[in-house]
Amino acid sequence: MIQMMAVIGAGTMGEALINGMLSRGVLQPSQIVATDALAERRNLVNSRYGVLVTHDNGEAASAADVVVLAVKPQVIRRAMESINGRMERHQLVISIAAGIPIALVVEKLHHLAVVRVMPNTPGQIGQGVSVWTATPQREQTRSILSALGVDLYVEDERYLDMATALSGSGPAYTYLFYEALVDAGVHIGFSRAEAEQLVYQTLVGSLAYMKHTGRHPAELRNAVTSPGGTTAEALLEMEDSRIRSGIIKGVVAAYRRSVALGKGAS
């Protein structure tokens, strides 16, 4: 059972983890200490969630049995330096820094109990997905990640870079598509409020229907596409604009960037 969790870096994903832990009742505010270099950010997290806050990473890490490295990969070396030597062997370190391999964290912290996770922001409401890998303390890790939504354990760490590109960055792709549909609705004459209502329910309803039926998305798409109809015309224009290849190329680019971040930090 977790007694105290330290979240090193109270940015977007750090806050998502805090919110997930609290909203699902896994931890109480008094059991979480969050750190951030910015006092403004620390104060915001404290006022929003009631958790403990400090600017001292080492102090936070030494008091916790689970330490989450929720910092950007560009600054993870500095974060690890600040907690190196401040932990005991039994403490679990969870890194959610994109592209950073477990071996580097083990080396820099001189600590073997390390888990690498790629969550995403819908975890704040228990609707996220987390891909993770580790050798030690699997059950403890799963109890944490289950509060964020679905979790997927993988044996090979290379899948974490893939997950970074697909599910980690995935919400951004979804929001971009949502924005584009809303803008299209406004362009053809709806008010923005009306377009947002229509697009939101269309996306939510379509995904729920796909899950409910268990049918392949291509089959469902074909069912909506009548020969010579409006949907066929729209899909033709989108394919001519290379929407499918653009999405694939974007995900591949994100994957390559994640791999590069790991090599750059080594």
Question: Amino acid identity of 248?
Answer: I
Mean pLDDT across 99-105? 94
Residue that has been written with the tokens 């974007």 in this structure? 250
**Is 18 in contact with 144 (CB distance < 8 Å)?**
no
pLDDT in tens, 176-233: 999 999 999 999 999 999 999 999 999 999 999 999 999 999 999 999 999 999 999 9
Residue 137 binned pLDDT confidence (cut-offs 50, 70, 90): low
pLDDT in tens, 146-176: 888 999 999 999 999 999 999 999 999 999 9
Radius of gyration for the chain, computed over Cα atoms and rounded to the nearest angstrom: 21
Residue 142 binned pLDDT confidence (cut-offs 50, 70, 90): confident
**Is 43 in contact with 51 (CB distance < 8 Å)?**
no
**Is 170 in contact with 120 (CB distance < 8 Å)?**
yes
Give backbone dihedrals phi and psi of 37, rounded to 5 degrees, phi first. -70, -25
Residue of 118, 167, 172 lying closest to 145 (CA atoms): 118
DSSP-assigned states of every residue in 15-47? HHHHHHHHHTTSS-GGGEEEE-S-HHHHHHHHH
Residues 117 and 163: their CA atoms lie apart, in Å, by: 9
Evaluate if residue 266 carries a pLDDT over 80: no
Domains located in the chain, CATH noted: 5-154 (3.40.50.720), 170-257 (1.10.3730.10)
Residue 1 binned pLDDT confidence (cut-offs 50, 70, 90): confident
